Chain A
Amino acid sequence: MQDRPSGPDLIEAVAQFLNEEILPLMADNPRLKFRSLIAINVLNIVTREMHEAEPLMQAEWQRLADFFDQSAAKMPSHPDQLGQTIDDFNRTLCRRLRTGDTGDDEWSRQLADHLYQTTIEKLQIANPRFLERERQS
């Protein structure tokens, strides 16, 4: 186990440095200012991902397992393996959609609900402000 600070703590320190010390120097350089803002945004994404991604991936795996009638299967405990099985499920799903399969009404409804939930979860990490805007519209 590593000593403190944690990974997210370190990233937050870098984001704070960029925000408070570097960004003010970029006032006369719109291009570098824009890119600095992107860099800060990237660090914020990574911080959210480190805090929140794992339970979201577990929930996504569970929905996919239910969808493919594999609810009895054991959820992989290692995050890499979890990601790999989600990827496998998604590839199967994509192949089925590509062949023109539309399934029955129940299949379509369950699929739409799962994909909506997954999209929301991606936005929670990647761009929560977009989600906020969506809810207000």
Chain B
Amino acid sequence: MPDTQELKTALEARLAERVDSPLSLTNLEMLAGGSSQETWRLDLTVEEGSFKGFHPLILRRPLGGSIFEIALDLKREFAVVCAASQNGVPSPRPYWMLEEVLGAPATLVERLNGESIGRKLVRATHLAAARHKLPAQLGTALAALHQVDYAAYGLDRLLSKPERGQTPAQTRLAQIEAELDALDEPHPVLELALNWLRRHEPAPPPKLVLIHGDFRIGNVLVNEDGLVALIDWEFSHLGDYAEDLAYPLVREWRFGMDRLRLGGIGQPEEYFQAYEAASQFPVDPDRVAYWELIGNVWWAVGLLKQTKRHLSGEQPNLEFACLGRRCCEMELEILNLLRLVPVAAGN
């Protein structure tokens, strides 16, 4: 973590070049959260020119290492946010991609107000009305994202896409297998799920779309009026629309409100209807269920990987250390979804 004053001085120099005006940078402060990037808040006041005025901003810097190998660097993530924000997807206004600030790249985007922490979002009383609106808003926002003409923004070259001759699902299963092999630990429940997923793949999607890749409660900013923005785009790629569609249903992202199948905030029907109304893709329950299962396996591996990052010394961290012990929560859900829980167990 760099010295705040040092970072402030370096940033002022870089930003003065961009806005071509005297400026003042205030309230620079590191925020908690984010496992692969440093996040800072700051206020920028520009004296003259096209950026004249007050700009509340978020600064991100790479921290080194990420939970999944497919994570985007800041530059590519910024390109995705630019494309999304220009196509009606609620997202923070992107400002600048800076190639070098104190020896590392940095991006600046608009700082929006709202709640993003999942366990608060599903419970906060002042967000009750927002939770009511969210399912339809999420469906509409996701449909807008999946309509983005990604080639027009060069994203077909910047983002990962399925291997040649493979479907998005096959590519994702291969990624999970590679992550598991790298962990070098046996996880039979996850292998059982992969075995089932290999044998029950739905038809390939009609086309590839721009995928957020981590679309769920916890990665959306919400205020009293509902959805403000989709955030945390580092796992964006080209893939099957059902991947994003199913991910907010994964039990982990209900933050304890298990019976509200859509992210602990509501039931999925209204979300599906809004998505279908605004998109060219039908919501097929089997396809969504298939990707919900993938989502559970994907996140189980994510938890194991975080523990590995701690144990290997790559990023020693108490929170990472104990995440591996939460893998069995995903495993029980996987057995539920595969209908392999004994009837006598009462589920």
Contacts and interface: CB of A to CB of B under 8 A. Distances in A.
Decide if A and B are genuine partners: yes
Interface of A: 30-31, 35, 38-39, 41-42, 45, 87, 90-91, 93-94, 97-98, 100-102, 111-113, 115-116, 118-120, 122-123, 125-127, 130, 133-135, 137
Given A91-B186, A115-B335, A135-B346, 4 more contacts: A97-B191, A115-B188, A115-B340, A137-B258
Given A94-B187, A112-B335, A130 B329 contact: yes
Interface residues of B, number: 32
Contacts of A90: 186-188
B322 A41 contact: yes
B345 interface: yes
A123 B318 contact: no
B177 interface: yes
A42 B318 contact: yes
B332 A93 contact: no
DSSP majority for the B interface? helix
Interface of B: 32, 177, 186-189, 191-192, 194-195, 198-199, 256, 258-259, 318-319, 321-322, 325-326, 328-329, 331-332, 335, 340-342, 345-347
DSSP majority for the A interface? helix
B322 A94 contact: no
Contacts of A30: 32
From B188, B195, B256, B318, name the one whose CB has the most chain A CB atoms within 10 angstroms. B188
A29 B32 CA distance: 11
User: Which 3 A-B pairs have CB atoms at the shortest separation, nearest pair first?
Assistant: A90-B186, A122-B328, A97-B191
Contacts of A125: 325
Contacts of B335: 112, 115-116, 119
